[in-house]
Structure 1
Amino acid sequence: MDTKNEKTLPYVNLEQRFCNKFRKIEFRHTPRARNEFADSLASMIQHPESSHINPLRISLKEEHAHCCHMEAEPDGKPWYNNIKIYLERREYPEGITSGSKKTIRRMANCFFLNKEVFYKWMLILGLLRCVNAGEAT
């Protein structure tokens, strides 16, 4: 990839190094006439040293992104426990407010229980299996 602006040369070099780490990569050129938003943002940012561009930090993860967002449950129960119990037995946890009950009922509309396997229904993606932190790991 070539660049006309030497300010962007560090980015081009970094891009070329990282391109080898992907199975497939695609670049699309957006003509300047259709890129008014980026131009207006760039014109609003004034750096004291005009030839300096802050470095772009890119990090590569060795595991899937969805694994990075799983947290262990503090009480040992999965995040979906209250919804699952509601779908199984139509019961609420003890001591919750009527507002929380309403939230559980509303959220239960988006979930599906097939024996012991719990799914979340999403229009575009279909059924997504819900797992606890141990299963995700």
Structure 2
Amino acid sequence: MDINELVVIGDSDLLIHQVQGEWATKNDNILSYVNLAEMLCKKFKKIEFRHTPRAQNEFDNTLAMIVSMIQHLKSSHIDPLEISLKEEHASYSHMEAEPDGKPGYNDIKMYLEKWDYPKGITSGKKKTIRRMVNVSS
């Protein structure tokens, strides 16, 4: 693909230091990966490794999930993926007040606080509340 420079971002500080030769690799299982990475590094004119703590790698995990879902054809061309970052999570952008003046997530909040459903809601809405609570847990 004629790529000369590469930035590798990873959440394993140990592995990054091992691949860069700064720390010794003692585990035989990891040693084969480190050797492969060292061999692949030689194919680039410039390669840079950056450590991202796991708590801050939400973007990396999302990108890895997207890439794993893409089916690549047997060619060397991969269409570029355009990514724009938002200031806040998309779910925050769509919270609107209900007619009673309370935010749309109020039923979920009440359920989490009291483990009981608000009065007068349908079984479908109860199912939605349970699903939303399980997603956020």
Q: TM-score, structure 1 length as denominator? A: 0.30
Scaled by the length of structure 2, the TM-score of the pair is 0.30
Question: Which has the larger share of helix?
Answer: 2
Q: Specify the structure having the higher radius of gyration (Cα).
A: 1
Higher relative contact order (CA 8 A, sep 6+): 2
